Structure formats: C-alpha cells, structure tokens
Amino acid sequence: MTTEVIRSEELFAPLRNGIELCYQTFGDPDAEPLLLVMGLGGPMIWWDDDLCRQLAAAGFYVIRYDNRDIGRSTTRGPTLGLGTVARGFLTGRAPTPYRIAQLAEDAFGLLDHLDLPAAHVTGVSMGGMIAQTMALAVPHRVLSLTSIMSTTGRRSVGRQHPQLLPLLFSRRRDTREAYVESSLRVWNVIGSPAYPTDDATLRQRAGDTFDRGVDPAGVLRQMAAITTQPDRTKALGTLSMPTLVLHGTADKMVHVSGGRATAAAAHGAELVLISGMGHDLPPALFDTFTAAIRRNANRAG
C-alpha cells in the first residue's frame, strides 16, 4: 500500500530583505528537509511534481520555490540591456542589482520562514551555484549538498556551446506564443539526446511557465548574477558536508567540465556522470536522481 504524498498549496514567504518568495512543499513536515533550487529563468514547477513526490517518498520534506525575478516571487529591479549582460559574459564584470550571494540569502530566508535550522540542499544549474554558495556561506545550515549540471564559477570550465549564444542573447518578445516558441527552440538544443522530451510536453511546460509569470528583464538580472559570480574553486575545498555532483555528458548549456571541476574541488565529493543527459531533468532519470540524492543525504547521518 503506497502512502499518498501531500502537496501543499502555493504559499508565500516574506523575507526581511523585502523579497517575497512563492514556495510549495511535498511530504511530511517531520521528515528530513530538502530544499530544491531551480536555475536561470526557471520557476519551481520545473522541479516536476512526480520527481518531488519520489523524493518525498524517499524520506524528504521537499521544498521547491521560485527564485526572485521568476514565477510568483517578487520581480523588481533595474532594466539591464543585453549589452550589459553580454559584457558580464565576456569579462565577468558588469553592473548587476544582485549577485549569487543574495540569491543564497533568499534561500536561507525561506528556511527561516519555515523554522528550519538546516536542510539538505539540491540545486540545478544556477541553482547549483546558489546551493554551493549557501554551503560556503553558512555550512552548518546545509546538511548535504547536491550540485546538478552546474559549475564552480571558474570561467575556464562549464562554458556554453557556441551554438547557444544566439539563443541566449536574442531579444525576447513578451507574448505567450513567442515565449513558447522560443522555449521550444532552446530545449530542443539543450535537452538530453538520450532521453528526449516530446514537443507537446515542452510546449505545455513553457505555457505553464509563462502563465505563472515570466519577466524578461528579471531573467536578464539573473543572467547578470551568473556572469559576475566569483570563482568558488578554492573555497569548495573547505566543505565538510556530504557533496554529490550530477552532470550529463551531453550538456550544451554547462559543459561537463563544470561538474568535473566542482567534484574535484569539493574533497570527498561523489561525481555521477550520466551518458546522453543534457541540461534538463528527464523523467526517465527520476529514479537515478532520487537514489543519488538519498544516498548523499544518508552520508550526513
């Protein structure tokens, strides 16, 4: 007999910095807390409901949320030009209203709102950068760290495939149809070649994402935070919590060298490379993700 996993309504956490984060939970609040941190331009629904339920069934109290500037969380800030973000991409220096460190502070603020002194933390792409930053900033609050298809911030690793640059820096139109078509083009390039997602599913997810809230200016602010992030390589060597690095060998958004470098920097980290996986979370790999995250958390005792 399978126990039903309880999913909360979408809730809101007002933070001390004036940001309000939209979040949702799965599972038993008395289970081990697991914070899921999504990447660039991705709302919390990119953590698929079925994956969240699997993680909850594995013994976690799963918390997913919209980062600032996406979805139903606070979206505000100066409008950045594509030139400013491109300068950050090329040089690592550009004016930005916030950095990865502030996004990590947002995540800690959500844990405070939930009265959680610590949690297991799993992040994807930009979310992996945020998760790493959390572990470095306040290590006793991160029980275990899982960094998925992310990188250390060192500019020589984890680079994007040149094929992606026109897509990343093209101007976005703000209609639903244009967003869906643009998303389809991107996911057909960066998705997992060994675990393809059909176009109908991609269109549905893109439409759901747009309906929850997409602000192109907010996505550019997130991009600016990514392009100006510091190199965490040396600092990652100080981590003592169990660390897992998951990366696809076919990732065009963050080259697999980013995952290898992260695992090499974090002493004792487990590196899991998945052949044919790109820059997404295919349902066919949910069992793999769940087992690896559970295994890593078990190392925390």
200-258 pLDDT tens trace:
999 999 999 999 999 989 999 999 999 999 999 999 999 999 999 999 999 999 999 99
Query: What is the DSSP annotation of 119-176?
Result: EEEEEETHHHHHHHHHHHHSGGGEEEEEEES---S-TTSSPPPGGGHHHHTSPPP-SH
Query: pTM for this one?
Result: 0.95
Contact assessment for residue 71 and residue 158, using Cβ atoms and an 8 Å cutoff: no
Band the pLDDT of 85: cuts 50, 70, 90. confident
Residue partners of 202: CB distance under 8 A and separation at least 6: 183, 184, 187, 188, 191
- From CA 80, how far away is CA 65, in angstroms rounded? 24
Q: Which tens digits make up the pLDDT trace of 10-46?
A: 999 999 999 999 999 999 999 999 999 999 999 999 9
Residue % of the chain over a pLDDT of 70: 97
Tell me, what's the pLDDT at 152?
98
User: What is the Cα 24 distance to its own chain's centre?
Assistant: 15
Band the pLDDT of 173: cuts 50, 70, 90. low
Q: Which tens digits make up the pLDDT trace of 269-298?
A: 999 999 999 999 999 999 999 999 999 999
Q: All domains of the chain, ordered by start, with CATH?
A: 11-298 (3.40.50.1820)
> Beta strand pairing status for 32-37 and 11-14?
unpaired
Closest CA to 224 of 71, 74, 93: 93
Contact assessment for residue 73 and residue 66, using Cβ atoms and an 8 Å cutoff: yes
